[in-house]
Amino acid sequence: MVPLSNIVTLKKETIPIQINHYNQLRSVTLSGELAQGVSLGEAVEVFKTVRRSIARRNSC
């Protein structure tokens, strides 16, 4: 018999329970509430700006 430790190495790590996908790409769902005095249109524009910034960083 061969000891299991001669064949494999066990490593304990934290992983997500579930990974969501959209068109075979990893995806995330965001939710939140608007701050008082902020319109939905303003919030959407801020979100789009942040999304473009993240996309540019990940495309390098």
pLDDT at residue 60, as a whole number: 63
pLDDT digits (tens, 9 = 90+) for 6-31: 999 989 999 889 999 999 998 988 88
2 within domain boundaries: no
Q: Which domain holds residue 27?
A: 20-60
pLDDT at residue 43 above 90? yes
Mean pLDDT over 37-55 rounds to: 92
Whether 10 is covered by a domain: the verdict is no
Q: Would you say residue 59 has pLDDT above 80? A: no
Chain mean pLDDT for the chain: 90
**Does 60 reside within a domain?**
yes
Number of domains in the chain: 1
- 9 within a domain of the structure (yes/no): no
Residue 1 lies in a domain: no
Spell 15-49 as b/e; 16+ CB within 10 A means b. Answer: eeeeeeeeeeeeeeeeeeeeeeeeeeeeeeeeeee
Please check whether residue 48 lies inside any domain of the structure.
yes
Residue 58 domain-assigned?
Answer: yes
